[in-house]
Structure 1
Amino acid sequence: MKEVKNLTYETKEILEIVQKEEITAYHIYKNIAKKIKSESNKKILENIANDEKKHSAIWMKYTHKDASPSKLKVFWYTLVSRILGFTFAIKLMERSEEISAKHYSIISKEIPEALKIIQEEERHEDELIAMLDEEKLKYVGSIVLGLNDALVEITGTLAGLILAIQNTKIIALLGLVTGISATISMASSDYLASKSEGRDDAAKSATYTGISYIITVLLLVLPFLIFNDSEYILATIVMILTTLLIITAFNYYISVAQDAPFKRRFLEMASISIGVSFIAFIIGVAIKHFLGISI
């Protein structure tokens, strides 16, 4: 690589940012790799870490400075990988890197050779990341099944009970009974469906479905347990906001971990859940009126 002298101040600043990003990424990948049981995934992450270290060394030839990793970033992404999985943490990190196309354009004017090397190595990293195989992501379909069914069924059930019952604790009781029963039913159905397809992981698939379902149920019922008996309207508003929050968080996770479109999936899930709630609310009002039920 040819040495480039008299770099502009702007280019030097960008190079220092890039160098720090690379050495930080090296430490993040190394930390994540330490906790992974799968030897194949561990090896891939160690290879990526070595690539990041090489990147940092290349930029150091231009900055003539040592770069220290950002301890906060290393801690944050390591923590995220423990909670939400290493694939999500890695792709989130790649998305949030400070280096941009604009920065690349500035660098290429003064050190095109270095830029070419880095771009080639980054393509190699993308190929390695695509090879990662995380168990959690294998069961996204099961999680979607449990989450989506719970959002539709429980929001519909609770909305339908609001004016018919007008008591948060009774609504919560009925919601929990319905939710727990539906969780067992959904998990059992998923298990039988997986078994009929000849899958060896039927029990695990059913577990993911059941867990996602019951967690969603508890989050949706929680407002009716917190608010006073007569505050059923307020509890309903919080339930709807919780529904939108769950849909937002889940779709953001999928959009990062699986490079899936966020907006379309979010609008689809939100419109179905809120639409069903509205229809169930109207049905609840109609039933109360025609049957004359008052609790």
Structure 2
Amino acid sequence: MQAASAYDPHLARDLILDELFDLSLYKALRGITQSDIHDTLDELIKIETAHLAFWQRFFNLNLEQLDLGRRIKLSIMTMVCRIFGSMAVHLVLEAIEVHGVRKYLAVWQAHQGKPLGEALHGILMDEFKHEDVLVTALTQRQINPEKIRNIFLGLNDGLVEILGAVSGFFGAFGSATMVLIAASTTAVAGALSMGAGAFLALNSEQEVKSTDVAKKVFLGEASDVTPMEEPPLSSALVVGSAYLLGAIVPVFPVLLGATDPRFSILTAGLMVILVSTVLSFLSGMDIKRRILLNLVIITVAVSISYGIGIVAKNYWGVAL
């Protein structure tokens, strides 16, 4: 086995602490859940205990205490599960599964043909088979990728588009009343447009799949067409509602009396961080990268929209 010193010490520390975090989380969840899922959690605890011991031996590094960031994360997740009950537990377990698989696959791809890559083979087999079966059986796939995509799409579009509109209207009109009227009507129109677009797109997809199924039935062939996971109308409502919820965030400060876009930018930025954190965690995406990307998008949208508003006011005579 290659010497532990040959590896990035940060990677070694992260792998061990991540396993320790998962183990600590499963133990904490066992203490706040009903007995019907204790057998599943006990099996997960057994697996994580073995993984933790393996990495400690592999890197010759014995870490028994979580760092501050992971302790805070553990406390928050435990509190959320305690407050929201079994649904939150299901979501957390599935999210942990997704993150674990993505993390180990990335490390394995970077160390193929090396001792660390070989060591990861057994861990990944556990993640793919044993833990996946256990967690999937428990959660019954509570995380619907389509719903996550729709919620994220709607919220993100509502935040960015209406924040840009608020900034542009302030630049052009300088009147909170005018901004409120214009932004509110734009938000409602945008929500209806997003919902209608989602409905039409999924309805078209549903019709295409139905035609393919009918064709295969007629020809006597086995159908390999997967059914739609979510009805078009339900998806449209999710997208439209999420858009409207996101749109309310930059409009709300104006409703409370804000006379410039600063408070709208602040509230929208905080909302982006919160939404990006939650949805990135649930879908297994890189949280920091997603937050940074959305903040950059908002910054660009606000700058361009406000600039257009100023140009409209000074050169095109747009004003109250």
Band of TM-score, shorter chain: 0.5 to 0.7
The one of 240, 243, 259 aligned to 1:232: 259
Q: Are residues 138 and 50 of structure 1, via their aligned partners in 2, closer, same or farther at CA, if it must alter by over 3 Å? A: farther
Matched residues, number = 228
Deviation at 1:75, TM superposition (A): 5.8
Match of 2:244 in 1: 214
Q: Does 1:152 align with 2:169?
A: no
- Equivalent of 1:88, from 88, 92, 116? 92
- In structure 1, distance between residues paired with 2:292 and 2:23: 39
CA deviation map 1:44-100 (0-9, x unaligned): x45423436879xxxxxxxxxxxxxxx9986642324578673137757999xxxxx
User: Counterparts of 1:73 and 1:248 in 2: how far apart (Å)?
Assistant: 17
Tell me how far apart the structure 2 counterparts of residues 264 and 20 of structure 1 sit (CA, whole Å).
26
What is the Cα deviation at residue 190 of structure 1? 0.4
CA contact (8 A) 2:169 2:306 kept: yes
Query: In the aligned structure 2, how far is the partner of 1:139 from the partner of 1:19?
Result: 29
Provide the residue aligned with 1:182 in structure 2: 190
Q: Give the conservation status (yes or no) of the 8 Å contact 2:280–2:290.
A: no
What is the distance in 2 between the residues matched to 1:287 and 1:241? 24
Change (3 A) 1:279 1:85: farther
Contact 1:175 1:221 in 2 (8 A): yes
C-alpha distance in structure 1 between counterparts of 2:152 and 2:194, whole Å: 12
Tell me the equivalent position of 1:102: none
1-side partners of 2:24 and 2:243: how far apart? 42
Shift of 1:191: 0.4
**Aligned partners of 1:152 and 1:273 also within 8 Å:** yes
Aligned to 2:149: 141
* Identity across the alignment (%): 22
Q: Structure 1, unaligned stretches of length 5 or more?
A: 1-17, 35-44, 56-70, 96-118
Residue of structure 1 equivalent to 2:235: 205
Distance in 2 between residues matched to 1:126 and 1:141, nearest whole Å: 22
Which residue of the other structure, out of 128, 131, 137, is the alignment partner of 2:134?
Answer: 128
Deviant stretches of 4+, over 4 Å:
18-23, 52-55, 71-76, 80-85, 89-95
- Give the residue type in structure 2 aligned to 1:238: F
What's the TM-score, normalizing by structure 1?
Answer: 0.64
Structure 2 spans left out of the alignment, 5+ residues: 1-21, 48-74, 100-122, 207-227
- Within the candidate set 305, 309, 314, 1:280 is matched to 305
The range that moved more, 176-185 or 81-90, is 81-90
Q: Which amino acid aligns with 2:259?
A: Y
CA separation of 1:265 and 1:72: change in aligned 2, threshold 3 A: closer
Distance 1:190 1:258 in 2: 20
2:29 equivalent among 22, 25, 30? 25
Q: Distance in 2 between matches of 1:147 and 1:185?
A: 14
1:152 to partner: Cα distance: 2.5
State the shift of 1:239 in Å: 1.2
CA RMSD of aligned residues (A): 3.8
The superposition leaves residues 208-232 of structure 1 with CA deviations (integer Å, 9 ceiling, x where unpaired) of 10111111111110000112xxx42
Q: Tell me the amino acid that sits aligned with residue 255 of structure 2.
A: L
**Aligned partner of residue 31 in structure 2, secondary structure:** helix
CA distance in 2 between counterparts of 1:146 and 1:46 reads 37
For 2:29 and 2:87, locate their aligned partners in 1 and report how far apart those are by CA, in whole Å.
Answer: 18
Match of 2:315 in 1: 290
The 3 A distance-change label for structure 1 pair 22 and 193 is closer
